[in-house]
Chains A and B, each alone.
Chain A
């Protein structure tokens, strides 16, 4: 058997799933003793160029409470044309179309390699893609200009038949009518008035009786009803109009700019609900600052009211916080499925975090719309995937089904609970729980959800040897080609008795996945709990894990060992504790919110980079190599490239920097130096091109002010405190009181082996 590492990798590639445990403890009691919960990271739309979608509908289990999709794990009676659901054990007839089925003539969904399969469904009317731009006009002139250009450019990136809409806001909110000839027309709303969706639709004149959407339409495409509204029009029709419209956008003319972001968003939602109910859409918000009036207001418009700092919030001092949070909750609960892309510039998004986290797709933070950071990120939103299609999906809906021994505790990621209770929903919540279905609004191939499970099997009812637990993920979404698709992933893992087979379980531990899953839990908790509490909780979990899986003699820290499958885990935790996700010091609430937002939606690899940045060293001593994220890696004759996901930092060591200043790179005889300088730049460029959102690119050198980005990340193994103790031979001391990894580990060992704990 291949190693677990290979198994994990294979599984991830095929199904986009990584479990914290790949062999499952068979009883509830044992599972809780494992410290790290049974959970998985699911990338629902992981790109599978090798997976051709099938053009028919999935076969469902006939039990109304189950409705699991036929999958390779099901037992099939080819003669009787029956199949048994592996979740509820219901025996089902194959539908008539499957009459020709036999062992040698299997449908794709029964083949083991199709544990993940995608169906193209042709139910219901096809709706085009919808992009609704929500644009802040309270910007500086040049910012607005840059934004206008970006928006105009983006029109050419949209598919020609996609519907676009435009809402601008400042003190007032303007919903622009796009279909008009001659005079441009817009509907204007007061920015201070919270309106219900019904009112909004009335005011926009959308309240004509909606055409009832008939369920279960036959398969053939419905006669294309020309769905359009005055506010949402196909790009190809109003390309010119919209370009002009954007060109004529004016800065908010009122003496003091007021941003009515809250109302603008609720109007956007109302508009979509009124025109395309139950259809996926993207609301793309471009704003240059905090909402300053109306529902969702973060700061007052009086200049003397400062924007909140973390300090205020912790003291619950923030005047508008409660109101703001409530409003956002409301807008998140909108009835229509819609997805959003928030592009944010400036400050003041913290109170939107619920939006960001649950419902919103992307968030970009920069200083200005007039930066390449913003421009490129924005373009990248419209990047096409391998098959020339947008890397985005609309109105996605994830359903999880489990076999009887498991229940669903919750999910953490950019999703909203749909509140679907079922037999497989646990009463204990981890993350967004209490449901077996979630709405994922901004879904792209990287979007990753953490899903937590609970083993409910009782200790005294053992699972027979060789039993397997199964989980099925059903993701329905609107593909960017406007097709409706369903992706079904069914996985199974072995059960093991933790008492007798602990080493199996231990060996099947996926420490990377576990680290990310624990980090998400931590971040999720940090939203509602005080920072130190979260850190303490993380510490305790780590210590308990070490106690459970470490090998040591009591009270002898030096005897402490961890097996290979756990060896990196404490280090991840160390860096996590230092990460901006949990440390709010030196970060504005906006920044924290922004970091957390991305952390909660990126896949495992990216998440790990965020937790523990990657450091590459370039020197004459050899080819580029990854080095420890440690102050000792900072050497004068090295160039370092650090990737923290949000930043790409190139750092020239002291000597290198001096050489560069001396201009050696320009001399033909030192061409190798020139190559050396160039190598990290090339690598950085590569990262920059694929990363979304665009990271901040920092090029600095020893002693440069920007070097702080690097210094704040590396493990402070050398500080001013122990500098002389360590000698001066290598590395760069970091001026900090933070503990180093070494100290951390020492403490951990001591606590883990302590019999008192």
Chain B
């Protein structure tokens, strides 16, 4: 069969000459690593296809209908269990066997090897040809109806026109054949036409005329147009596996893409929209154990009915495999992403606070789990059995209540701790440091007043802003003013503390120049209540910029600054946050002094990891001290060169702080972004001096924690502070078999000090199912949470392992998960067919985004600081944030319905989705772009910018002008909507098509090949597929 397949290949081989390089580059290097497998398996391939074929019939059959249908609706679902997983599944997931990963030349090899001989090309070329084939087939199969056409047509590029024609021609081809293919293609090779061939289906020997034409044509016109689009990007780009195989950038580019229609592969947008359509705007009640919540991107009303809201906890799967063997087999990470202080929309109930007075929270005697809905009351309510450790405890007398006829306490619904998944306890003195009630926390503002910050006007900006900001310190709802005290420090080479006691006429400045052994020079008057000391503080903030106006000090210190802040909090016996506004590498002679160690030569070597590690050890011990004293460090960086974020940010990271970075800060363009961040951070709801403990029912336990946290031992997650945006990802491992009846229960308890200085416990409970059926596990997976987990674990791993290894692990794990599904859950089909579980159908695309994120791409063009920065941000992100970060939102705004309030549906992040006549907003949580096609409708431009034409738009602007017209208002509201609830303020960049900044913008089109060498989605899919095939053999 395969041979035949190859026979068909020759037509494609025309493109081979170009591809030759690819295979050469690709194949061999690959094989040495992950891809090695792919390469080898080739031999086995021959065998594989057959089973694959047989299997494929089923999916294909399903997919066949697709042609006519919108991708989302699958008739396939009817089929076997496949339908189960993919209930909502779309054809795209299942790739026909022939499709083996496009880009991954290796996977084809199986076929190719054989074909090689047959094909005129050299061995190397064979791979490529296969690729091409597969791609083609994919296109064909997946081809949605008219959507693609329309998109194509819409693109105004003259150059593209030919392409469009091609595609047009193609499409009809595919479309028509598919129906035939469905069956034939799947089962019978012949009918498969082009697809079949690629698939390596022997029967495909007779290509459809269309197909044949295609290949023939493609090299010509079809190719070019695409190049026009992709060309720039592709040119420099490496192979699909950019980072991994730096050496072998293959020019995969052209042909495969041509042939594979992106619409045919699983679309994240489609998945998101489907979920929105099915569950959006509804109420989701957490009354069932193990039910899968709506996606993070779906807006809905969540009602706590016994399990924590997904806003607080999201799991990678809601059904744990019952044994560790199963877990190992599936290789699905069992993890929960816990965002204990997540913001709850105002229309959902805030957490109830339970106060048991002096007795404190009720806890299991053995495992110390807190009273929760999982506790089973027995013996008429006199005792209860702990759901976690099964220990039987006495019910304290004051807590006693009778049981009703179904064995539930009569007061079940009156007590939050019995009926709700999330609630708070008021903690007793036993839960306080030194058994003393905590003092209200303090915020200390520490401003770098070295020459640069003064010169850039930053210091003045901060001081001016603080005057208004200090009125907005967080407070408890019921209180009139905030209990938080504030203190001020400025520094350059030495530290300046300020006494702003309310009875002073003038603030007093105290200079500490003993930076080697820094200390706090004053106790009284450093931390003050802003309301009381308002005049002195304002006086101070007025004077600071003047005081240092003629400074010429350019050296700064850093570690002593944190030390000082921590000592101040320690002396005041309170927890708190430091707000440090820093701009340069701390080169002054002091502890924590850093040198510029940024070295591009380290990239792709075993030493690359050192770039992510702190330069000196003192930062770690400093971080430890900070955590021990409840001192959270928020760092605002304003670098214009390397500042070693890996070192500077370490304390921030460990103390649960937030790192903000503003490259080349310009007062005019960057201050809105900075000020919004600052404002938001100051107003944030935060828990201070927190300790989190995750308890689980017997049979499994939490083994690994990722996030902006510090761990002194293996169980206590310490956070100097935890705010609404911080999420901790917890990985679980099996200890034992899990019982399907009792499920897997998780309780997360966070002990913290509130903004008013009250010690509290926040409890989140969630119950998951257990199953002996892998299919159940796959069915309840959540890709967004998985990606969150993978991102964090990979970003942690790069501290200890070479990037290459980390990337390989990610790929192989992806392949393993999918292969396991294929092997155990999917109905039999051809090996060459790519079958994705429904819940994971966008995993490859997300995984690819992760793999080509700046952190995992070691390229000299990417500043080391930028990578360290992203690494740090991601480590504390919640599921929603990682989802957006790795797969940015791309919104078309040129065809808005100005009357509706709705935000337009996003489109896939690919260049193909752009059009010359369109305008798009792209946002990933850190940056936001407004992309304008060259022929954007003038009325839109007029409406947005108040200029007559495209040429008049200034790309310098970072804000859209406020204009009183529907366009402007609508788009502004969209921007606001995108920005709302995001931890970082995105700076809006205006990108005009075909202008230089577009390069930057393109990096965010994550489905495409990236200029830094990341693989395109299609390529990656092929790669994964190949790997899966490998595994299956």
State yes or no: do A and B come from one complex: yes
Does B508 interact with chain A (Cβ within 8 Å)?
yes
Complex: how many Å from CA A194 to CA B521? Answer: 17
Q: Are B508 and A183 in contact (CB under 8 A)?
A: yes
Does B506 interact with chain A (Cβ within 8 Å)?
yes
Partner of B524, one of A193, A195, A205, A253: A253
Nearest-CB residue, chain A, relative to B542: A182
Smallest CB–CB gap between B498 and chain A, Å?
Answer: 8
List which B774-808 residues lie within 8 A (CB) of chain A: none
Selecting from B92-100, B510-518, B598-606, B830-838, the interface stretch reads: B510-518
Q: Are A174 and B521 in contact (CB under 8 A)?
A: yes
Smallest CB–CB gap between B244 and chain A, Å?
Answer: 52
> B657: which A residues are within 8 A, CB to CB?
none
Q: Are B513 and A248 in contact (CB under 8 A)?
A: no
Does B416 interact with chain A (Cβ within 8 Å)?
no
> B496: which A residues are within 8 A, CB to CB?
185
> A48: which B residues are within 8 A, CB to CB?
none
Contact residues of A: prevailing secondary structure = mixed
Complex: how many Å from CA A189 to CA B523? Answer: 14
Smallest CB–CB gap between A724 and chain B, Å?
Answer: 66
Does A585 interact with chain B (Cβ within 8 Å)?
no
Smallest CB–CB gap between B129 and chain A, Å?
Answer: 73
Smallest CB–CB gap between A215 and chain B, Å?
Answer: 33
Nearest-CB residue, chain B, relative to A247: B505
Question: Which residue, of B497, B498, B519, B540, has the highest number of chain A Cβ atoms within 10 A?
Answer: B519
> B497: which A residues are within 8 A, CB to CB?
188
Q: Are A189 and B514 in contact (CB under 8 A)?
A: yes
Does A106 interact with chain B (Cβ within 8 Å)?
no
Nearest-CB residue, chain A, relative to B504: A248
Complex: how many Å from CA A332 to CA B450? Answer: 38
List which A178-195 residues lie within 8 A (CB) of chain B: 180, 182-190, 193, 195
> B510: which A residues are within 8 A, CB to CB?
174, 185-188
Smallest CB–CB gap between A177 and chain B, Å?
Answer: 8
Does A650 interact with chain B (Cβ within 8 Å)?
no
Q: Are B543 and A185 in contact (CB under 8 A)?
A: no
List which A148-199 residues lie within 8 A (CB) of chain B: 172, 174, 177, 180, 182-190, 193, 195
Complex: how many Å from CA A189 to CA B506? Answer: 22
Q: Are A185 and B517 in contact (CB under 8 A)?
A: no
Partner of B508, one of A193, A195, A205, A248: A248
Does A250 interact with chain B (Cβ within 8 Å)?
yes
Contact with B along A698-709 (1 / 0, CB 8 A): 000000000000
Complex: how many Å from CA A267 to CA B509? Answer: 19
Number of interface residues of A (CB under 8 A): 24
Q: Are B521 and A188 in contact (CB under 8 A)?
A: yes
Smallest CB–CB gap between B1020 and chain A, Å?
Answer: 58
Partner of A187, one of B498, B511, B522: B511
Does B547 interact with chain A (Cβ within 8 Å)?
yes
Smallest CB–CB gap between A144 and chain B, Å?
Answer: 14
Nearest-CB residue, chain A, relative to B507: A183
Complex: how many Å from CA A223 to CA B507? Answer: 38
Q: Are B513 and A205 in contact (CB under 8 A)?
A: yes
Does A204 interact with chain B (Cβ within 8 Å)?
yes
> A367: which B residues are within 8 A, CB to CB?
none
Complex: how many Å from CA A244 to CA B496? Answer: 20
Question: Which residue, of A188, A189, A202, has the highest number of chain B Cβ atoms within 10 A?
Answer: A188
Nearest-CB residue, chain B, relative to A195: B514
Complex: how many Å from CA A186 to CA B547? Answer: 14
Q: Are A188 and B523 in contact (CB under 8 A)?
A: no
Complex: how many Å from CA A240 to CA B512? Answer: 25
Smallest CB–CB gap between A525 and chain B, Å?
Answer: 42
Q: Are B513 and A253 in contact (CB under 8 A)?
A: no
Complex: how many Å from CA A174 to CA B504? Answer: 18
Smallest CB–CB gap between B548 and chain A, Å?
Answer: 11
Complex: how many Å from CA A195 to CA B514? Answer: 10
Do A183 and B543 contact each other (CB < 8 Å), given the known contacts A188-B511, A248-B504, A254-B523?
yes
> B543: which A residues are within 8 A, CB to CB?
182-183
Contact with B along A189-228 (1 / 0, CB 8 A): 1100101000000111100000000000000000000000
> A185: which B residues are within 8 A, CB to CB?
496, 508-511
Nearest-CB residue, chain B, relative to A189: B514
Q: Are B517 and A183 in contact (CB under 8 A)?
A: no
Smallest CB–CB gap between A13 and chain B, Å?
Answer: 53
Q: Are B508 and A184 in contact (CB under 8 A)?
A: yes
Q: Are A253 and B547 in contact (CB under 8 A)?
A: no
Q: Are B514 and A186 in contact (CB under 8 A)?
A: no
Nearest-CB residue, chain B, relative to A182: B543
Q: Are B506 and A202 in contact (CB under 8 A)?
A: no
Q: Are B506 and A190 in contact (CB under 8 A)?
A: no
Q: Are A183 and B519 in contact (CB under 8 A)?
A: no
> A244: which B residues are within 8 A, CB to CB?
505
Smallest CB–CB gap between A400 and chain B, Å?
Answer: 43
Q: Are B504 and A190 in contact (CB under 8 A)?
A: no
Contact with B along A660-675 (1 / 0, CB 8 A): 0000000000000000
Do A186 and B508 contact each other (CB < 8 Å), given the known contacts A203-B513, A204-B513, A205-B513?
yes
> B546: which A residues are within 8 A, CB to CB?
182
Q: Are A188 and B512 in contact (CB under 8 A)?
A: yes
Do A253 and B522 contact each other (CB < 8 Å), given the known contacts A187-B511, A190-B514, A204-B513?
yes
> B514: which A residues are within 8 A, CB to CB?
189-190, 193, 195, 203
Smallest CB–CB gap between B656 and chain A, Å?
Answer: 30
Q: Are B524 and A182 in contact (CB under 8 A)?
A: no
Complex: how many Å from CA A192 to CA B540? Answer: 30
Do A183 and B521 contact each other (CB < 8 Å), given the known contacts A189-B514, A190-B514, A203-B514?
no
Do A172 and B508 contact each other (CB < 8 Å), given the known contacts A193-B514, A204-B513?
no
Complex: how many Å from CA A182 to CA B504? Answer: 12
Complex: how many Å from CA A244 to CA B505? Answer: 10
Q: Are B509 and A184 in contact (CB under 8 A)?
A: yes
Q: Are A183 and B513 in contact (CB under 8 A)?
A: no
> B517: which A residues are within 8 A, CB to CB?
190, 193
Complex: how many Å from CA A182 to CA B547? Answer: 9
> B540: which A residues are within 8 A, CB to CB?
183
Q: Are B524 and A250 in contact (CB under 8 A)?
A: yes
Smallest CB–CB gap between B450 and chain A, Å?
Answer: 15
Q: Are A172 and B513 in contact (CB under 8 A)?
A: no
Smallest CB–CB gap between B3 and chain A, Å?
Answer: 83
Q: Are A253 and B509 in contact (CB under 8 A)?
A: no
Q: Are B547 and A202 in contact (CB under 8 A)?
A: no
Do A183 and B523 contact each other (CB < 8 Å), given the known contacts A190-B514, A204-B513?
no
Smallest CB–CB gap between B459 and chain A, Å?
Answer: 15
Nearest-CB residue, chain B, relative to A190: B519
Complex: how many Å from CA A255 to CA B505? Answer: 24
Q: Are B506 and A182 in contact (CB under 8 A)?
A: yes
> A189: which B residues are within 8 A, CB to CB?
512, 514
Smallest CB–CB gap between B379 and chain A, Å?
Answer: 53
Do A186 and B513 contact each other (CB < 8 Å), given the known contacts A172-B519, A172-B521?
no
Complex: how many Å from CA A708 to CA B519? Answer: 50
List which A245-267 residues lie within 8 A (CB) of chain B: 248, 250, 253-254
Q: Are B513 and A187 in contact (CB under 8 A)?
A: yes
> A180: which B residues are within 8 A, CB to CB?
509
Complex: how many Å from CA A244 to CA B504? Answer: 11
Smallest CB–CB gap between B704 and chain A, Å?
Answer: 42
Q: Identify 18 residue pairs between A and B in the complex whose beta-carbon atoms are under 8 Å apart, listed by A's number.
A: A174-B510, A174-B521, A177-B511, A183-B498, A183-B507, A183-B508, A183-B509, A183-B540, A184-B509, A188-B497, A188-B522, A189-B512, A193-B514, A193-B517, A203-B513, A244-B505, A248-B508, A254-B523
**Given A183-B508, A250-B525, 20 other A-B residues pairs in contact with their CB atoms under 8 A:** A174-B510, A182-B506, A182-B543, A182-B547, A183-B509, A186-B510, A187-B512, A188-B522, A189-B512, A189-B514, A190-B519, A193-B514, A202-B513, A203-B513, A203-B514, A204-B513, A205-B513, A253-B522, A253-B523, A253-B525
| Interface set of A (CB-CB < 8 Å, partner B) | 172, 174, 177, 180, 182-190, 193, 195, 202-205, 244, 248, 250, 253-254
Counting from the closest, the 3 A-B pairs by CB-CB distance are A188-B521, A203-B513, A253-B524
| Interface set of B (CB-CB < 8 Å, partner A) | 494, 496-498, 504-514, 517, 519, 521-525, 540, 543, 546-547
